Amino acid sequence: MNTNSILFVLTLGSLMAAVDTTIVLLALPTITSSLHTDLLSSIWVLLAYMIVISVLSTQAGRIGDLFGKGKIYNLGFVIFTVASALCGISTNIDMLIIFRIVQAIGGSMLVANSSSIVADVFPPNRRGKAYGITSLGWNIGALVGIVLGGVLTTFLGWQYIFYINVPIGIVAVLLGLMNIKDINKVNTKLDIPGAILLGASLALISLSLMFIAASGTSTDSIIELALGIALIPFFLLNETRSKYPILNLKIFKIRLLTYSILANFLQGIGGLSLSFLLIMYLQGVRGLSPLDSSLLLTPGYVIASILAPFMGKVADRGKPGIVAGIGLVFIFITLILYFFLLTPTTDYYLIIGISAITGIGSAMFWPSNSTAIMFHAPKEYYGSVSGLSRTLGNIGTILSYVLSIVVATLSIPRNVAFEIFIGTTTLNGDVSATFVNGLHFAFLISSIIIIIAMIFSFMSGKTQESVTK
């Protein structure tokens, strides 16, 4: 088994997923104009993808446990690649959103099984470095997506932000079929009722949150949210009675695993909202284009890319939860700095410097947290735990997006908030200052969330054995 080839394919998957997120965000204004639609419709090209990955990740991880992680991962790459081509040939917004949903189905199969494949292939004392390398793929992908999004949309057309996935996907599929094989398959069955209950619950919760961000609270969105939450006890009851649960609740008796998963979830809310809020500041207050505002934050991505493999090796030496917790300290520092120092005229060099601190924190947190989670996960539930972690991380991303939009709409109209988000309008005068004050409030909330995540992460490492054992 060629572990380097396996790691290359997994890193390529992380890179493609990251490219596809940032590259679509920058192309939304062009997509809106080209397909003759409105902004609130075109933004679902981004949101539908986020929701589907959030809903399906846990199930995709468990399916990997049952039928083979390598098989499901490679199939996910095939679906993702074919759907990318279909997105490119879409002639209206409805077609594009539908094919983005199909693309997200493939994406969920990729992200849900990636961490568990690393856990299968690499021994505990080498996983941190492996996770650091896959994190490198994510950071490079986010950076490449920023640059490619501007270049391809400007010179070739928005369709090519999807076509670019096709040749990369073909190479990845061929390499994956040759190198990623099924390991630790579980001889059991799929929990269909559990999958339906969990999927329905997550779909209702995610959709309601997105509608709240898009249109504000309404009777329908509140009912959807309540129904989604109400289904959770039924799912848990089913899991306690199922002979083949999609998620064995006994894993939550492993306290250190639970702490690491909660840290991942909370970091998704507090840490990722930082990126959304800062982009809205740069585009809405400072009047930068989406490309320029994203490029201003690239030092953070570059530093995270350089440091992630090294920080993963540090986590391999023992107590990855502590390393992840220190990473959260750096992210907390960035939020506090923005809270005190961000004004309508803050020097760009200061923002670049603070984003570099964010990069250090991200490089420490992601590979270390993944190592901590998979170190404590039972081998027969690697896929489920990996999928659950990814599900909660994606729900955290949705919540961070909702937090950003809701805070923005406290001081400006909702349609203006969306225009700022995709970079088609700017603010002036008193409105600009009021908006920045609202961002300060959001930074404060995010910092509190990160403190809680920090506590869980340090608790996960407090009594944790060295991963070298």
Tens of pLDDT, residue by residue over 419-454, are 776 666 787 777 888 888 888 888 888 899 999 999
- State mean pLDDT over 286-297: 79
| Residue with the larger pLDDT of the pair 345 and 184 | 345
In this prediction, residue 468 has a pLDDT band, given cuts at 50, 70 and 90, of very low
Using the predicted structure, report yes or no on whether residue 373 has a pLDDT greater than 60: yes
Using the predicted structure, report yes or no on whether residue 226 has a pLDDT greater than 90: yes
In this prediction, residue 353 has a pLDDT band, given cuts at 50, 70 and 90, of very high
Q: Which residue has 């939009």 as its token pair? A: 405
Query: Residue 1: what pLDDT?
Result: 57
Rounded to 10 deg, the angle between the 255-284 and 320-341 helix axes is 30
- State mean pLDDT over 94-105: 93
C-beta atoms surrounding 189 within 10 Å? 10
Measured CA to CA, the distance from residue 456 to residue 72 in angstroms comes to: 32
In this prediction, residue 469 has a pLDDT band, given cuts at 50, 70 and 90, of very low
**261: closest CA among 393, 125, 120?**
393
Measured CA to CA, the distance from residue 195 to residue 151 in angstroms comes to: 41
Using the predicted structure, report yes or no on whether residue 336 has a pLDDT greater than 90: yes
Rounded to 10 deg, the angle between the 382-408 and 255-284 helix axes is 30
Q: What is the pTM of this model?
A: 0.80
Q: Which two tokens stand for residue 50?
A: 């986020």
- Long-range pairs for 155-160: beta carbons < 8 A, 24 or more residues apart: 157/30, 157/34, 158/27, 158/30, 158/31, 158/34, 159/88, 159/89, 160/88
- State mean pLDDT over 77-100: 94
| Residue with the larger pLDDT of the pair 54 and 364 | 364
- State mean pLDDT over 315-326: 84
Instruction: Count CA atoms closer than 13 A to 390's CA, side-chain side.
Output: 31
| Residue with the larger pLDDT of the pair 325 and 125 | 325
In this prediction, residue 186 has a pLDDT band, given cuts at 50, 70 and 90, of low
Using the predicted structure, report yes or no on whether residue 461 has a pLDDT greater than 50: yes
Q: Which two tokens stand for residue 198?
A: 């969990």
Using the predicted structure, report yes or no on whether residue 351 has a pLDDT greater than 80: yes
- State mean pLDDT over 326-341: 94
**374: closest CA among 257, 248, 274?**
257
Largest separation between any pair of C-alpha atoms in the chain: 64
Highest mean pLDDT among 120-129, 173-182, 206-215, 289-298: 173-182
Q: Which two tokens stand for residue 352?
A: 């670049």
SS3 content of the chain, % helix, strand, coil (to 5): 85, 0, 15
Highest mean pLDDT among 21-25, 179-183, 264-268: 264-268
Measured CA to CA, the distance from residue 400 to residue 423 in angstroms comes to: 18
- State mean pLDDT over 325-345: 93
Query: Residue 278: what pLDDT?
Result: 83
Query: Residue 464: what pLDDT?
Result: 46
